[in-house]
Structure formats: structure tokens, C-alpha cells
Amino acid sequence: MSKPRIHILALGGTIATRPDATGAMQMGLGADDLVGAVPLLATIADIEAETVSRVGSHSLGFDQLHALAAKIRSLKADGVVVTQGTDTLEETSFVLDLLLDLDIPVVITAAMRNPALTSADGPGNLLAAVRVAADPWVREHARALGVIVTMLDEVYAAADVLKVHPTRLNAFASTQTGPLAALVEDRIVPLALPVRDAMNAVHRRLDALTGDGAAPVALFWMSIDEPGRLIEALLAAPDRLGYRGAVIGAMGGGHTPERATDILIKLAAAVPTVVSPRAGGGPLLEKTYGGPSSEIALRGAGLIWGGRLHPLKARALLETCLRFGLDRKAIAELFAGWN
């Protein structure tokens, strides 16, 4: 039986670092280096390797992700593996999931320990990602799985995966739903398929539309006694600052400090403003608490309810909606799917 054709796209990140003369790790390795370090790959798949960039994922932008999505769409492959840095993996995987609706697996992986360290995890994660992309169950359910992330022998859905630790090997988790599959020996053990209704609605809405340039979205994290002065500054100089939307990392089930509430309501009147749980996952409340900065008041005042989406993922969805020219009503409809 012929092996699946897996295309590896390398963006950079710790997995692609090497030490400079001072010992500091610099982005430097390309896709061929990563593949060359894992001879077993050739026994699993016919590998095509391509270096897209050599940057830290903290420096990636939405424009690059749109270009990456277009490249992935154009590939003649049975599966795609993307390697990148871990720092924004929870965002990049979700953006690619918003943009791609393919019937081949798209798997993203990375490394927590750089190649100069004992027990570097890059080669093992790359091997695992290729195994996942080549696996018959994953290939059969590629569209139902959407873009997936493989780290430390687990497979996660892009909408749920979070980076939960800055340095540990087990830095990734899917805190709301758990992993979709596990790797053991040379096998993939299926555990679950993600609920994709909200994502499918995004794909239907964006189909046939084209994005026309960046749509910056501000992220405001609510914390105790927050007076909302940065929001005041944004409203005072909207054209200079250029933000076209905002996400509020709200307390609890969708609450904000009372002293910031009036300005938040003004913000929501000026630009689409999404409330999302700073606790990291939802769903948010809709009808429990009364009072001026409760979920009932904020929803009534026109803030868009982000449901269970982490604020970073809500920001990625709002940027995508605005970039594709959706109006406030269409945006609210898409976010409703995550409530």
C-alpha cells in the first residue's frame, strides 16, 4: 500500500532553534533540518518539507496566517503538518481552523525544549504529528476534526487547546473538552470528535467572501477595581488608534467592575465588543445576575456574548469577522454559536 503524502511546513519556533556563539537560541533550522533529525518519518509517509519562515510565533501576524491558509489549500497532499513556536499556538491553530475547511488532516506541532537541551521534545512531537496526519481514523474524520494540535502524545481541537504553562513539557491542555486522541506505541487511539456546529457556521458565512486587510482588535482584561481609562483613551482617539473591535476578558460568568461599565457600554456602541470569560473557558451566564455590570445588563446594552471561547480565541474570531467585512449582526450570530 502506498504511503500517504504528508507536507511539512516549518514556520520557526523553539523546535527550529539552534545556539548562536553566545549560547542563546536563535531561530535557524529549516524544514529539511527538522525532517533530517527524524529518520523514522520516511517509514510512515512520503514527506515533502518546506520552510515558510524562521520566526518566533510571538512575531507571527494574521496576514501570515491567511497566506499560510492559502498555501495549505493549494497543496496536493494527503495531510499537512505545520511546525511553529508554542507561544501563540492556541491562537494560530484557531485562526487556521476558522479559515480552512478541508478533507485532509492539518496538524500543528511545536516543542517546549529546544534542540540543545537533553530530552528535546521537537523530534518526538514531529514524529507524532506525522503519525497523526497519516492515521486512517484521522484522515477519515479530517473535516470533522478540523485543524488539530499534537503535543506530548495528545491530540487537541483548535477551538479548545490552551497553553497552560510557560516552560513545562506538558504545557498544552484542552481544559474544556479533553484530548481528541492519544498516541501510544505507534498507534493513534481515538477518544472524541469535537462539536463543530459553531465552526461550521463560520465556514458557511465566510465561504465566498475575501478578507481585505488587517482589522485590529483590542483586548481588555478586566481585573479588580479596573477604572476603564484605556477604553476611554480608545474612544477619544478611535482613528488614531485604529482598533475596529474589542474583546473584554470578563470576570466570572460575564461581569465587569461597576466603575468601568458605562465606558464599556460606550465602547460597544462604537465598535463590536465581545465579552469572553477571563477564566479561560465558558460557557458564560446569560440570565442569572441583575445589577448594572451583570450579564443581563451587559447583554441588554449591546455587548456581544462570546460564550465559551477563551478571550484569545474570541479576539481571533472577531478579527477574522471584521477582516471579512461582517457587520455587527452577523458577528453576533456567529458568536452565538459558542454560547
Instruction: Tell me if 87 contacts ligand GLU by CB under 6 A.
Output: yes
Residue closer to ligand GLU by CB (options 11, 264) is: 11
Residue 284 CA to residue 252 CA, distance in Å, equals 8
Q: Count the helix, strand and coil residues of the chain and give each as a percent rounded to the nearest 5.
A: 35, 20, 45
Residue 136 CA to residue 171 CA, distance in Å, equals 27
**How many binding residues for ligand GLU (CB under 6 A)?**
11
Three cell numbers written together for 178:
479533553
Q: How far is the CB of 15 from ligand GLU (least distance, A)?
A: 6
Q: How far is the CB of 310 from ligand GLU (least distance, A)?
A: 18
Among 9, 110, 317, 334, binds ligand GLU (CB under 6 A): 110
Three cell numbers written together for 5:
503524502
Q: Are 203 and 185 in contact (CB under 8 A)?
A: no
Q: How far is the CB of 94 from ligand GLU (least distance, A)?
A: 15
Three cell numbers written together for 209:
467572501
Instruction: Tell me if 121 contacts ligand GLU by CB under 6 A.
Output: no
Residue closer to ligand GLU by CB (options 110, 267) is: 110
Among 9, 10, 14, 138, binds ligand GLU (CB under 6 A): 14
Rg (CA), the chain: 21
Q: Are 284 and 305 in contact (CB under 8 A)?
A: yes
Question: CA-CA distances (angstroms) from residue 196 to 89, 203, 309?
Answer: 20, 10, 13
Residue 247 CA to residue 199 CA, distance in Å, equals 19
Q: Are 289 and 319 in contact (CB under 8 A)?
A: no
Among 51, 53, 83, 86, binds ligand GLU (CB under 6 A): 86
Residue closer to ligand GLU by CB (options 77, 161) is: 161
Spell out, one character per residue from 141 to 180, where the chain touches ligand GLU: x when CB under 6 A holds, - when not: ----------------------------------------
Among the residue ranges 11-19, 97-105, 277-285, 291-299, the one whose residues contact ligand GLU (CB under 6 A): 11-19
- DSSP annotation of 255: B
Residue closer to ligand GLU by CB (options 86, 174) is: 86
Cα dihedral 280, 58, 60, 326 sign: positive
Query: Rule CB under 6 A: which of 28-67 touch ligand GLU?
Result: 56-58
Query: Rule CB under 6 A: which of 177-216 touch ligand GLU?
Result: none
Residue closer to ligand GLU by CB (options 166, 213) is: 166
Residue 119 CA to residue 304 CA, distance in Å, equals 45
Instruction: Tell me if 93 contacts ligand GLU by CB under 6 A.
Output: no
Instruction: Tell me if 13 contacts ligand GLU by CB under 6 A.
Output: yes
Residue closer to ligand GLU by CB (options 150, 294) is: 150
Which residue number has the CB closest to ligand GLU? 85
Sheet containing 5-10: give its strands across. 46-51, 5-10, 79-83, 106-109, 148-151, 154-157, 181-184, 187-190
Residues binding ligand GLU (CB under 6 A): 12-14, 56-58, 85-87, 110, 112
